[in-house]
Amino acid sequence: MREIFSNLLRRKLRSTLTVSGIVIGIFALTTMGSLAEHFNSLLDIGVRYAGAAIPVQAPPEQQGALLPLSKQAELARVQGVSAVYPGYTVQARPGGSAIQLGAPDLIVNQQAGAEQYGLPGPKFAAGRNLAPGQQGEIILGPTIAGDLGKRTGDTVNLPVKPPGAREDFVSHPFKVAGVLTKNGQTDTFAYVSDADARMLLADTLSPTVRSAIDVNTVAQSFTVFPTKGTSLNEMDAIAARVNEQVPGVHAQKPSELVANFKSAGSTFTAIFTGAAILALIIGGLSVVNTMIMAVSERIREIGLKKAVGAHTGQILREYMLEAAVIGALGGLIGYGIGLGLTTLLDVLGASSNLDIFLVTPRLTAIALGFAIGMATLAGIVPALRAARLDPVTALRSL
């Protein structure tokens, strides 16, 4: 081992260049990979949601229209449907800062008990779930909690009153019951009861609309759950039945949503693969080059080692190990820089909800394993050349 580092130090410039080559490759791999991991994790959750529920909204020609809450019972009667939840969404910080880069902070109604139909249940970093039937409580995603500067037990007034808001802008006090763990998907969401969500929805309606309807009889959307484990095909069939049997609503086929997610996923996988190929070419070639040079300038040493009893396999191992050490060095540095940069960018972007990198243990293993594996592989040919040298020829060379 010491011999390897000593040899690397003896050729400082060359070692630096080689390691830099791997650093560049693994840096690209880490940053592109964490980008891909981030989006893939979102897509995975997306696929899980899309594969678990059928979203029902107003038909496309009356997009955004409110739906009568009575549709809930109609939807529930469709064959294959086991639960229907109304959905409400309002902005937590309406008319906020002019340009917002990340996802907006939203208040939605909690679909309590949806876990039993295959959705991921809430995971709490602190506090507890909403008490059933209790109004005036709220659960915050980690991002929105950070934006609002609130913790479990605090009281928060929502929606946040924007600067220059109208006189009649209303906020309501909510007690923070719990804060969720980060999952990359629902971090900017706040959850309230159905009744509270309707109250908040009413506040967003124009006075004429508000006086014309009873907000307690409407929903913005519905989420239709089949029983857990229903196949995508059967869910498509349920969506088709909804569109056929329930007038005035539109159900989207889950398979279309899943396909959208999957095609987006393959784009990121392609980007990641591109980065890997880049890393392979840059890093691999620099290792091949370095190892060839190392072997040719150490031919006499190899001859000497063989004279004092080294076997072909032992020399092979030494040179492969040297290549692997170069790979590990470059991999660690490249991964370190990549990790540092993505973490820094995410921290900087946190204020605008711009969280776009995700370094997973899998990515760490891939980046380091790739660096070491690639270097070792690149070292095989030069190492074989070294190991197979005839001792006399090697000793008498130069």
Which residues of the shown chain bind another protein in the complex (CB under 8 A)? 2-3, 6-7, 10, 300-301, 303-312, 314, 391-392, 395
Backbone φ and ψ for 5, nearest 5 degrees, come out as -65, -40
Min CB(307)–another protein separation in Å: 5
Query: Residue 48 or 300: which CB sits closer to another protein?
Result: 300
Structure-block tokens of residue 133:
């039937």
Min CB(394)–another protein separation in Å: 10
SS3 (DSSP) at 167 = coil
Min CB(374)–another protein separation in Å: 24
Q: How crowded is residue 249: how many other Cβ atoms within 10 Å of its Cβ?
A: 20
Query: Residue 212 or 308: which CB sits closer to another protein?
Result: 308
d(CA 49, CA 146): 25
Structure-block tokens of residue 20:
């830099």
**Best CA proximity match to 344, nearest among 5, 16, 31:** 31
Min CB(316)–another protein separation in Å: 13
DSSP annotation string for 117-139 = GTPPPP-EEEE-PPPTT--SEEE
Min CB(2)–another protein separation in Å: 7
Query: Residue 310 or 359: which CB sits closer to another protein?
Result: 310
Min CB(302)–another protein separation in Å: 10
Q: Where are the beta strands (DSSP E) in the chain?
A: 54-57, 67-68, 81-87, 89-91, 106-109, 124-127, 137-140, 155-158, 172-180, 189-192, 218-219, 221-226, 250-251
Query: Residue 304 or 333: which CB sits closer to another protein?
Result: 304
**Best CA proximity match to 353, nearest among 43, 156, 104, 140:** 104
d(CA 244, CA 250): 9
d(CA 148, CA 173): 13
Min CB(375)–another protein separation in Å: 19
Query: Residue 8 or 28: which CB sits closer to another protein?
Result: 8
Query: Residue 256 or 390: which CB sits closer to another protein?
Result: 390
Min CB(359)–another protein separation in Å: 36
Min CB(4)–another protein separation in Å: 8
**Do residues 53 and 365 touch, judged by C-beta distance below 8 A?**
no
What is the sign of the dihedral through the CA atoms of 346, 350, 353 and 358?
positive
d(CA 100, CA 107): 17
Query: Residue 333 or 395: which CB sits closer to another protein?
Result: 395
DSSP annotation string for 184-216 = SSSTTEEEE-HHHHHHHHHHHS-HHHHHHS-GG
